[in-house]
Amino acid sequence: MAMLMILCPVKKKPVATGMDMPIEQVRSGQIQLTNNTLANCPECGQNHTWSGKDVI
């Protein structure tokens, strides 16, 4: 497993979601996300709701 990273849509930089899950299974939708809002993005300070396809 690995820490899931997404791309901040504001700064276009990778940020850690704080979630530790198998990346491929999240991307492919095999794992349903239940807490997929990143609050206080470390890059821009906003909240981002993300989905499996946003995982980088």
Decide if 37 contacts 47 (C-beta within 8 A).
yes
Rule CB under 5 A: is residue 10 a binding residue for Zn ion?
A: yes
In three-state secondary structure terms, 23 is helix
Rule CB under 5 A: is residue 33 a binding residue for Zn ion?
A: no
| Closer Cβ to Zn ion, 2 or 10, answer by number | 10
- Give CA–CA dist 27/54, Å, rounded: 8
Rule CB under 5 A: is residue 43 a binding residue for Zn ion?
A: yes
Residue of 6, 8, 26, 55 interacting with Zn ion (CB under 5 A): 8
| Closer Cβ to Zn ion, 34 or 49, answer by number | 49
